[in-house]
Amino acid sequence: MARFDSQLKDCPLCGQAFFGTFDTMACRRCEGEYRRLRENIRNYLWNYPGQQATLTSISHDLNIPLGIVKAFQKDPRFQAMPDDDDMADKRGAFVRELEERRRS
Ligand SMILES: [Zn+2]
């Protein structure tokens, strides 16, 4: 299965390149810290389900740099990331791409 292949990735915490499988999101040195932050974000979303939490509010309230919060969107274990304009843009681009493919 391709998903077990290692690929070159950027660690969102320290910026170092490392080899990891599809669900390895941080380098070995930052893995523990990454898990801790992921728990914090998960708890935050759990505690404020009705609130319009955005990437920016998570970043601000949990004191995590926005670039790192965004990295969590790519984590396959993390499906419950909130919407914001940035994500709406990406969805728009994705839909456009699908429509392009359908036409060709
Ligand atoms: Zn790292």
What residue type is 63 in one-letter code?
N
d(CA 45, CA 68): 16
Distance 82 CA to ligand 1 centre (A): 24
Per-domain boundaries in the chain: 7-103
* 19-41 per-position pLDDT tens digit: 998 888 899 999 999 999 999 99
d(CA 59, CA 68): 8
pLDDT in tens, 39-90: 999 888 888 765 678 889 999 999 999 999 988 888 877 655 555 544 555 5
pLDDT tier, 98 (very low <50, low <70, confident <90, very high otherwise)? low
pLDDT on residue 13: 95
At 49 the pLDDT is 65
How far does residue 103's CA lie from ligand 1's centre (Å)? 42
Per the confidence metrics, is the pTM higher than 0.85?
no
Q: Please, what is the end-to-end C-alpha distance for the chain in angstroms?
A: 29
- Ligand 1 centroid to residue 35 C-alpha, Å: 12
